[in-house]
Structure 1
Amino acid sequence: MRVRIHRGAREIGGSNIELEHAGARLLLDLGLPLDGESSDPACHPDIEGLAGGGSLLGLVLSHGHRDHTGLSHLAGPDLPVALGAATLRILQAASAFVPDCHVPANTITLTDRQPLTFGPFTVTPILVDHSAYDAYALLVEAGGQRLLYSGDLRGHGRKGALFERLLSNPPRDIDTLLMEGSSLGRLDPDRTFPSENEIEARFHALFQETAGLALVAASAQNIDRVVSLYRACKRAGRTLVIDLYAAEVLAATGNPRIPQSDWPGIAVFVPHHQRVRIKRSGRFDLIERHGRNRIYAEDLAAMAPRAALLFRHSLLPDLDRAGCLTDARAVWSQWNGYLRQPRGQALAADLAALAVPLAHAHTSGHASIPDLRRLADAISPRWLVPIHTFAPEQFPALFGPSVRIEQDGTWWECAAGSYPFTPSHPSSSRRCSDQACASNRTGLGGSVQRE
């Protein structure tokens, strides 16, 4: 099996991997660069047959973030696109509000640890903990070789048990582990990120200190964060206020344990720009579906000292006009790098002009370096290839001689060379000899004899 990283070997974002075996090809993710525009041809990978026909058999999307799905519109309508069922529903929900949100037409559903076949390729999705709901690592087998693509994952979210399950029951005999390294270069090797429980506690403390409305700038598609926010609101005696977009995304999870628009302690506020969009599109069903707990601007102003709003910059004019910002506090609950970009700078300036202080409460959607080391030790791959990182050169010192740094656009063999893996932790009990690793290819969750 041959592998080519089109983008991601030396950057976070725009992830796209092409696999080839016996004349057939398969794509893993088709993402938009963090600083790119989906309509910009300079961002489009050079993939033969992407628009349709030829030897390309399918596209498998690990999760719904734009840096992994944002160029999926380039795939022709006949190309099968595999993704999680909840991911598809969330994309469908978002498309009513986000103009350039593409929803694939020819879809196949991923199910945790249930294999799919694309010609000579067998793909087994493994549900993981990530800030995107319904995210998967992908095990790909072809020609007797096995590649595990981590996708984006972490161990400190509300689904951290999935990370521990992966460590305790990993796929065995992996020739290449394509492992994300988002935290390298921005986190000390021994540091860990705060847990979602800690973010919940931070929210609660900030709410206790805030006399007026709490404006929490978080992504509605970060379901873990919405859960943390809802739990903090309950602890602080505040109502969580969401807009129609967030209400639709939460409903699209299909999970009855996720907060919904008709739950006690939740209110739905429809800002002006969403009312305009609904009138133009005729989607009055959205208001009907989420109308049970609907409130209006005057209601929000009255309940502001006892409310927290899932906030975006576009809501600020409505809040200002309604007089909701007296003693308000904003809480930034996303990657801080966004605040350094023009849109983030504009938000910070507008908040400052309105005398709304800005606090921070966030944790990463990506694994800390200690957890990445635990993952590499558990998988014990023949080769570990960095992806989704700005710092591939840091991998060898952290993960040992199994690291093989590849370049964007270059084909390479999944199982080339000898078996160099040694655990990154000297105390680890996982050791791998060539003899043991060449035998007992037992499949997902099987066991292997180690010397």
Structure 2
Amino acid sequence: MAHDNLKIIPLGGLGEFGMNCMALRWKDDILVIDAGLMFPESELLGVDIVVPDISYLVENRRMVRGIVLTHGHEDHIGGLPWILSELNVPVYGTEFTLAYVEGKLEEHKLLDDTELIEIAPGSKFTIGPFTVEPIRVTHSLVDCVALAIETPVGVVVHTGDFKVDLSPPDGKAFDLHKFAEYGKRGVLALLQDSTNVDRPGYTPSEWSVKPRLDEIFSRTKKKLFFSCFSSSIYRMGIALDLAHQHGRKVAIIGRSMVESSEIAQDLGYINISPGLIINPGQIGDHAPENVMVLISGTQGEPMSALSRAAVDNHKHARISPGDTVLLSSRVIPGNEKSIYRVIDHLCRRDAQVIFDDGASGLIHVSGHASQEEQRLMINLLRPKFFIPVHGDYRHLKKHAELAKSMGVVDAAILIEDGDVLEVNANEARKTGKVTAGRVCIDSGSSADVVADIVIRDRRHLSEDGIVLPILTINKLSGKVERLPELVTRGFVGADPAMLEEARKVVGLTLENSSAEEKADYGVIKEKIRIDLKRYIQKNTSRRPLIMPVILEI
């Protein structure tokens, strides 16, 4: 009977924010929802991005029928290049989402080999045994959808990221009616976004930022630098409209901001008045009170346009005393230091900095549903089983409790990455685990996977430094020419007396080794490493990385 259950298998995004990836499996067919990344915590030294471990999909590659994307944020599409390098499957997404995906795949030279299939709200399509209907939802990005997936055991609804905005700037409102229709027909399982489960009430509409932004435009006497997430197309549109109303020309600076604005303009999400946009090189040709600079770098990213402008290191973006810098975004947890560092630099230049400090009026609104909207969705769909997704464990737990307290679901089930939840018309139960976790990527020229041992070594180096015992061995006689040298870097406690003793320890190790051991460089290096490690740990309580080096002369 187990073969006739639908398996719901999260591979990322349940137990952390980011790298959202969910697999639905019916017999020998697997449908994947989203393929995101997350940005690393500071302890993942030197790692650029983190993607989900897709060992399960690779092991079952012949069953994977396609990847369906809910929207174009990095935590939902950023892992695609790494997944598609392992699995050559079609990718389904809305027009705007696929425009972002194309740029990403082109960068990784995967575009020509990938089949991209455009989907639209209300138009059903079939992937194996699954019939999928995208449903229009609103979020901080445009062209976002939830997915109603008809499976052989019932309908599963995956909300993606959403909030209920009935009057978004693009006029494409959240489709309450479609959700209500599915609720009347009956929903087996609802997988719902948990991000803002801590927030009571409703999340304000995107329009709610306009009054405060209008007021800031009115009282800004010199240049206005407007920074928001490059994917905040609604916010960008509002800023451009206000610039036009207040007689300001607009220069767009920062690669991600330029790319997003071009895509949004091409697809009709932003309408720019003729003559409004100027080249960044023309900023100095206009009076400061007639210029707005739309600039990327709202999270204080070290090489972003705003970070460079804040230290006078940008060719075109020059911040002068009296200019206003507006950060229309939230502080993403973990980015506080870099953001406040940029704000400090801006203040040193006598700029007025406005950021989301809880002052009167909104300059940023969330793209995620608060508690009342989450309740509204549960009431509309009245699912048999409720499964919270997208969030740390505490968010998932609180969301499950919220659903239970409403009394409209049969069961609220908490699952995490790697859990296998088997569902049929009568029951849902956890039946096992698959391999899940995170894969660390150094996205240099070759985008290499960083193994755990590498991160461990980096942490080791950062905490206790490195010690290099250098041995000089005569190639002909095989004898050690002189007492070993010790070179240290980043190692605290390396006073001359202690180093001299450490040299003697290495010399003693060599004396007590046979000619055969000395001839085998691998063996002698390991003996030196063990003896030196023991000596240093005993005398300094530190554990530097010890790497013996043998020079032949």
Tell me which structure has the larger Cα radius of gyration: 2
- Judged with a 3 Å threshold, the aligned counterparts in structure 2 of structure 1 residues 385 and 248 are, in CA distance, closer, same or farther, namely same
Q: What are the equivalent positions in structure 2 for 1:158-177 lying under 5 Å apart?
A: 158=169, 159=171, 161-170=173-182, 172-177=185-190
1:202 equivalent in structure 2: 212
Is contact 1:2-1:21 (8 Å) kept?
Answer: yes
Q: Pick from 261, 266, 277: which aligns with 2:276?
A: 266
1:31 equivalent in structure 2: 36
Q: CA RMSD in A?
A: 3.1
1:60 equivalent in structure 2: 68
1:311 equivalent in structure 2: 295
Q: Pick from 237, 261, 278: which aligns with 1:250?
A: 261
CA distance in 1, matches of 2:19, 2:57: 19
Q: What are the equivalent positions in structure 2 for 1:171-320 lying under 5 Å apart?
A: 172-185=185-198, 187=199, 189-190=200-201, 192-243=202-253, 245-253=256-264, 254-256=266-268, 258-260=270-272, 263-264=273-274, 266-270=276-280, 296-299=282-285, 302-313=286-297, 314-315=304-305, 316=309, 317=312
Once structures 1 and 2 are overlaid, which stretch shifts more, 132-141 or 247-256? 247-256
TM-score, normalised with respect to structure 1: 0.76
CA distance in 2, matches of 1:358, 1:193: 25
Residue 353 (structure 1) shift: 2.4
1:106 equivalent in structure 2: 115
Which consecutive segments of 4 or more residues in structure 1 shift more than 6 A? Answer: 36-42, 99-102, 318-322
Alignment pair present for 1:153 and 2:162:
yes
CA distance in 2, matches of 1:163, 1:214: 36
Residue 246 (structure 1) shift: 3.6
1:379-413: per-residue Cα shift (whole Å, max 9, x none)? 11111110112311212442225322112211112
Q: Pick from 370, 373, 384: which aligns with 2:372?
A: 370
Secondary structure at the residue paired with 1:162?
coil
Letter in 2 for 1:224: Y
1:136-161: per-residue Cα shift (whole Å, max 9, x none)? 11112221321110001112343572
Is contact 1:91-1:102 (8 Å) kept?
Answer: no
Secondary structure at the residue paired with 2:56?
coil
2:20 equivalent in structure 1: 15
1:126 equivalent in structure 2: 135
- Judged with a 3 Å threshold, the aligned counterparts in structure 2 of structure 1 residues 304 and 93 are, in CA distance, closer, same or farther, namely farther
Is contact 1:52-1:77 (8 Å) kept?
Answer: no
Residue 49 (structure 1) shift: 4.3
Q: Pick from 317, 327, 333: which aligns with 1:332?
A: 327
Q: What are the equivalent positions in structure 2 for 1:361-440 lying under 5 Å apart?
A: 361-390=363-392, 391-400=395-404, 402=409, 403-415=412-424, 417=426
2:483 equivalent in structure 1: none
CA distance in 2, matches of 1:416, 1:64: 33
CA distance in 2, matches of 1:387, 1:249: 28
Letter in 1 for 2:293: L
CA distance in 2, matches of 1:94, 1:218: 21
Residue 256 (structure 1) shift: 3.2
CA distance in 1, matches of 2:26, 2:134: 19
- Judged with a 3 Å threshold, the aligned counterparts in structure 2 of structure 1 residues 388 and 160 are, in CA distance, closer, same or farther, namely farther
Is contact 1:212-1:329 (8 Å) kept?
Answer: yes
CA distance in 1, matches of 2:330, 2:338: 13
Is contact 1:22-1:120 (8 Å) kept?
Answer: no
Query: What runs of 5+ residues in structure 1 fail to find an aligned partner?
Result: 271-294, 420-451
Greater RCO (CA < 8 Å, at least 6 residues apart): 1
CA distance in 2, matches of 1:334, 1:51: 40
- Judged with a 3 Å threshold, the aligned counterparts in structure 2 of structure 1 residues 406 and 197 are, in CA distance, closer, same or farther, namely same
Is contact 1:212-1:304 (8 Å) kept?
Answer: yes
CA distance in 2, matches of 1:25, 1:396: 26
1:435 equivalent in structure 2: none
- Judged with a 3 Å threshold, the aligned counterparts in structure 2 of structure 1 residues 49 and 323 are, in CA distance, closer, same or farther, namely closer
- Judged with a 3 Å threshold, the aligned counterparts in structure 2 of structure 1 residues 239 and 198 are, in CA distance, closer, same or farther, namely farther
Q: What are the equivalent positions in structure 2 for 1:71-150 lying under 5 Å apart?
A: 71-73=79-81, 74-75=83-84, 76=86, 78-93=88-103, 105-150=114-159
Once structures 1 and 2 are overlaid, which stretch shifts more, 17-26 or 124-133? 124-133
Secondary structure at the residue paired with 1:336?
coil
1:172-229: per-residue Cα shift (whole Å, max 9, x none)? 31111100011123x2x23x33322221111111111211111111123211111221
Query: What runs of 5+ residues in structure 2 fail to find an aligned partner?
Result: 1-5, 298-303, 356-362, 429-553
CA distance in 2, matches of 1:68, 1:322: 32
- Judged with a 3 Å threshold, the aligned counterparts in structure 2 of structure 1 residues 48 and 338 are, in CA distance, closer, same or farther, namely closer
- Judged with a 3 Å threshold, the aligned counterparts in structure 2 of structure 1 residues 112 and 88 are, in CA distance, closer, same or farther, namely same
CA distance in 2, matches of 1:118, 1:249: 30
Is contact 1:49-1:56 (8 Å) kept?
Answer: yes
1:283 equivalent in structure 2: none
Secondary structure at the residue paired with 1:206?
helix
